[in-house]
Amino acid sequence: DTAVSQTPKYLVTQMGNDKSIKCEQNLGHDTMYWYKQDSKKFLKIMFSYNNKELIINETVPNRFSPKSPDKAHLNLHINSLELGDSAVYFCASSRPERGETQYFGPGTRLLVL
Amino acid sequence: GQNIDQPTEMTATEGAIVQINCTYQTSGFNGLFWYQQHAGEAPTFLSYNVLDGLEEKGRFSSFLSRSKGYSYLLLKELQMKDSASYLCAVYNDYKLSFGAGTTVTVRA
């Protein structure tokens, strides 16, 4: 299947822990993104990479560090997790057609206890 | 800054028509998107407008007026499966800025 995939789908962890979320796309897109959707369902951009280069960093705490080993992968590492980090994290990818239409992964539901 | 407004909730009957309005005030504009998001799922692309006018795609249509900073998504012949959140988003500076979403409930 051609798609954007994320692992894990669910993540439950304790405050202070470090965790990673992985994202892969096989759509041949050049640009990948991380979004955070909070409990009020508001979807907000965190990071964007184009061909492994960071192009957007939306004032995200530096506990969040994205890494793009190649243009098909964009991972997100979170240090010292806090309660407020609980949310759904979506990965997305796009290419320059129809104004950079973005295709979203299934999401990772993170719960920090 | 970006300000994108849409109603929080709308309810309609199966078979009816619903129009979801979106107004925006953004620092730039390179297109307006509508996404559908079912509960517990990922947003999926519905429509893209960059020029003024109406874009029709099956039961769904989207309209844009750039001078008024206004768009709407029109859902016709509503089906139960159309119950979802509909997200308006403006593309500018290589990123999408989303509104808070409109939850549409379709009743039998």
pLDDT in tens, A12-32: 999 999 999 999 999 999 999
The minimal CB distance from B48 to the residues A43, A44, A98 is found for: A98
Which residues are registered as beta bridge partners of A6?
Answer: A23
Strands B53-57 and B44-49: unpaired
pLDDT bracket for residue A41 (50, 70, 90): confident
Least Cα separation, residue A81 to chain B (angstroms): 23
* CA–CA distance, A39 with A22 (Å, rounded to integer): 22
Chain A residue with minimum CA distance to B95:
A45
Q: Does residue A2 register a pLDDT over 80?
A: no
Contact A102, B45 (CB under 8 A): yes
Return the percentage of chain A with pLDDT > 70, whole number: 97
The minimal CB distance from A45 to the residues B41, B45, B95 is found for: B95
- Predicted confidence (pLDDT) per residue in B23-62, tens digit: 999 989 999 999 999 999 999 999 999 999 999 999 999 9
- Predicted confidence (pLDDT) per residue in A47-65, tens digit: 999 988 999 898 789 999 9
Q: Does residue A36 register a pLDDT over 70?
A: yes
pLDDT for res B1: 65
pLDDT bracket for residue A1 (50, 70, 90): low
What's chain A's average pLDDT?
Answer: 93
